[in-house]
Structure 1
Amino acid sequence: MSRARDGREVRPTGRLTTMATLGYLALQAGKTVTALRAASRAPAAVEPSTEAIARVVVVQPILSGDPGLEDALRDNLLSLGGARFVWLVDEDDAEAQRVVERIGPAPRLEVRLCPPAPDGVNPKLAKLQPALDDCADDEVLLVLDDDTRLPRASLGALLGGLERATLATGLPAYLPGRTPWARLVEQFVDNNAALTYLPMAPVTINGMCWAMRVADLRAIGGFTPILRNLTDDLAVAGAVQRRGGTICQTASPQWITTTVESPGHYVRLMHRWMLFANLLLRRQPPGTVAAISVLHGIHPNLLWAVLAGSVRTRRPGPLVALLGGRWVLLQVVHRRVYGRSLHAPLPSLVSELLQPAHLGHGAVQRTIRWRTRTYRVRSDDDFSPVR
């Protein structure tokens, strides 16, 4: 032990806590600067022309189970008026069929009933391939999840991205949830999306919202070559890049609302996402794995170290400094990228502290629950339903 100038002993724990604080804030600041630079170079969020939006086919695979489903579907019909919509509903999903019937006929809207996907085939991709088959080569296919709202200007950014790259993908952001468990999911996405997707060259896409010219998608074989991949976003990104294509990560948000009613639902959702993250890392070269681990895996552990060190030494200063700096940096990112603050301090902190547990759960538990389906996952292209 050494002594400070005032004569107090400076314990090794205190020094380590201070170093962890500085490391956390340095990493967060570095990611913030890099993300904001990338955002400034991203395609602008602009209103697309009438002619451009008329060539967009909005394809939405629909599953019931979320109370906000009907509102989300209606909102997209209004905000993306002029585009052609194709809603893909399972034959055995009576509730989803009732939802789309309540919305009723709308201009340029087609509802398709889809048979169950065979075992070992990704049910989302199985729905998308027939929809692609009926598109014209000069159209743009926009894949949009059923709980996702895409502003018209964000669609303009995606179309601008297609002038630069083969595929353009959106940036997810969550609207405030009604339950504490929804707030934890919301803060996990809102505090990580911009700092994850923007700083690095794309290694995958945001599967909730992406667009591609139909001719380019057909040139890589459509969805047929990747039907047996569980993670559709990683599979699409890989198919594009293997054929020499490029991905444009836009910095314009789409807004997501997902109902998370219980702790069990929250754990299942986070487990699925973390298992998919493990599958992503398996496909990356060592250098990329190391970069992702440093940029996105160290933060929660440093936060735990600062919290434990502050409690043990009874010196709250490092923790207060970390939380204050973290709040400022997240505010800067949110206001610049999303146009408003999305930060909820307590759920945000709890969400980050829980990340190591969720990552470990995803690494060891290979069975996932995906809405109405349960799968045993052995690898990205080797999974089977659990009955």
Structure 2
Amino acid sequence: MRWLWRLLIILLYGERLLKHLAVVRFFRRAQPPAEVDPGLVSIMQPILSGDPALAACLEANLKARSGYQRQFIWLIDDDDEPARQICTDLMGRYPSVAITLVALPAPPPEHNPKLVKLIAGSARARGTVICVLDDDTMLPDHALENCLPYLAQHGAGLVFGLPYYVSYDNLWSGLVATFVNSSSLMTYIPFSLLHEPVTINGMFYAIRRTTLEAVGGFAGLEQLVADDFAVAERLRHHGYRLVQTPVRHAIRTTVSGPRHYLRLMQRWLIFPRESLMRHLPPHELVLIYSLVGLPTFLPWMALAVSVGRPGQRSLWLFLAYAGLSYLIFAYHNRSYLNSATPWRWSWMVPLVQILLPAQFVSALLAPRRINWRGHTMQIERGGNLRLVHRRDQ
């Protein structure tokens, strides 16, 4: 059994250390040369009210510094009066910023509201580069200058960034934020160094207008719930590469309580179940399971050994693994995520590692129904959706 013990140690610590080294290497890579000013950049933001931080997030992007000329296209529902009020107030406060407000009727029940808005927004976008930006996402200063040069690389069709959360207003927001901040870099980056990305972070990405037109725009994707994977698949089908950039962008989402937390985590885990896992070829699925799926259960493995084989050696195995994970997180938080996770909340790191496997299993077994800011949607097998209940305004 000694060989099994050694194999377990190599598996537990090797996975953490190799992914950490991949992250360090990624951020030490030389950046591509600065691109000539691309001209107008159109930033499309599908907006839905319901989060208390919505106005602050939208305003942060208006205030973010950039040397590029920008056009903001805000896409709201025509019956979403809170969103309309927030947008018109900000437009009045920032009259020098080019903002186009578009109010759209409710889409058909089987259509993804975000993709419907992106179709409408791209018809109004005048930029040579089109960015998609979620309404809870805040770009840092000069994000475009640091991101768009990657579009000049050979075969690049779309570039995207790395998310981290700054929501620590309460316990449940903190749990979500710590989950993302402790897993985002260790998930996206190692995969991108071994294989070209197979999907994107849909919270922020950029694409040239000519490329978007060449692949048919967003039309025809409306019935798919995982808009990020749908866009990624269309680009890859046409021979374009998806490029992971080192641009990190903050996200602020208020999680009101335990039910909201469980719904949000379930939605995040159901999406890949009905998109990536049902549509990718076997060799790419093997890589995803090896880098993301199986490592999810390593904390449980370490805990099971500690509980199942009581003894000093077993206890030290678990404590050392938890300590290593914590130190790696602390380094990433300070070096790459602008210390987004306050020190007083860092005790959540081991907690989310223990909770995640249970949530992963729950999402695999859960009914394919999600809630997005009051809208209830049924996800069909394979990723199509149907609106079950539209929220009351």
What TM-score comes out, normalization by structure 2 length?
A: 0.88
Match of 2:104 in 1: 114
Deviation at 1:239, TM superposition (A): 0.5
Deviation by residue 1:314-362 (Cα, 9 ceiling, x = unmatched): 5331122112211222233334433547474421111121112222222
Structure-1-length-normalised TM-score: 0.89
Which residue of the other structure, out of 70, 81, 85, is the alignment partner of 1:94? 81
Q: What is the distance in 2 between the residues matched to 1:377 and 1:238?
A: 18
Q: 1:329 to 1:163 in 2, by over 3 A?
A: same
**Alignment match, 2:281:** 285
Q: CA RMSD in A?
A: 2.3
Give yes or no for the alignment of 1:149 onto 2:159.
Answer: no
Corresponding residue number in structure 2 for 1:358: 359
Contact conserved, 1:374 with 1:385, CA < 8 A, in 2? yes
Whole-angstrom CA distance in 1 between matches of 2:340 and 2:33: 18
Alignment of 1:132-211 (within 5 A): 132-136=122-126, 139-164=128-153, 165-200=156-191, 201-211=196-206
Matches of 1:87 and 1:310 in 2, distance apart? 52
Match of 2:269, SS? helix
Aligned twin of 1:318 = 317
Tell me whether 361-370 or 293-302 shows the greater mean CA deviation: 293-302
Residue number among 62, 65, 70 corresponding to 1:83 in the alignment: 70
1:333 partnered with 2:366: no
Identity of aligned residues (%): 32
Question: In 2, Cα distance between the equivalents of 1:385 and 1:126?
Answer: 13
Aligned match of 1:370: 372
* Partners of 1:45 and 1:153 within 8 A in 2: no
Q: Distance in 2 between matches of 1:360 and 1:190?
A: 21
Q: 1:18 to 1:354 in 2, by over 3 A?
A: farther
Q: Does 1:131 align with 2:133?
A: no
Asked which structure has the greater RCO (Cα within 8 Å, sep 6+), the reply is 1
Shift of the 373–237 alpha-carbon distance from structure 1 to 2, 3 Å rule, reads same
Q: 1:275 Cα shift?
A: 0.4
The answer to whether residue 14 in structure 2 is matched with residue 26 in structure 1 is: yes
Q: CA deviation at 1:380?
A: 4.2
State how far apart, in whole Å, the 2-side matches of 1:249 and 1:169 are. Answer: 6
SS of residue paired to 2:190: coil
Is residue 300–residue 353 contact of structure 1 (8 Å, CA) maintained in 2?
Answer: no
Which of the numbers 46, 56, 62 marks the counterpart of 1:61?
Answer: 46
Q: Supply the AA of the counterpart residue of 1:256.
A: I
Instruction: Measure, in 1, the Cα distance between the counterparts of 2:171 and 2:332.
Output: 23
Letter in 1 for 2:333: H
Alpha-carbon distance, 1:210 to partner? 0.3
The answer (yes or no) to whether the contact 2:202–2:227 under 8 Å persists in 1 is yes
- Determine the C-alpha separation between the residues in 1 that align with 2:87 and 2:65: 17
Aligned-residue offset at 1:152: 2.4
Using the TM superposition, give the Cα deviation of residue 72 of structure 1 relative to its aligned residue in structure 2, in angstroms: 0.7
Deviation at 1:166, TM superposition (A): 1.1
1:41 is aligned to 2:29: yes
Unaligned runs of 5+ in 2: none
Q: Which amino acid aligns with 2:256?
A: E
1:9 corresponds in structure 2 to none
Aligned pairs, number? 371
Range that drifts further, 243-252 or 99-108: 99-108
Deviates more, 1:66-75 or 1:304-313: 304-313
Q: Distance in 2 between matches of 1:144 and 1:337?
A: 21
Once residues 32 and 265 of structure 2 are traced to their aligned partners in structure 1, the CA distance between those partners, rounded to angstroms, is 32
In 2, the alpha carbon distance for the partners of 1:85 and 1:158 equals 17
Cα deviation for residue 104 of structure 1 reads 3.1
Q: CA deviation at 1:228?
A: 1.6
Following superposition, the deviation at residue 250 of structure 1 comes to 0.7
From 288, 296, 316, give the equivalent of 2:292. Answer: 296
- Structure 1 regions of 5+ residues with no counterpart? 1-11
Instruction: Map residues 210-249 of structure 1 onto 2, 5 A cutoff.
Output: 210-249=205-244
What secondary structure sits across from 1:97 in the alignment? helix
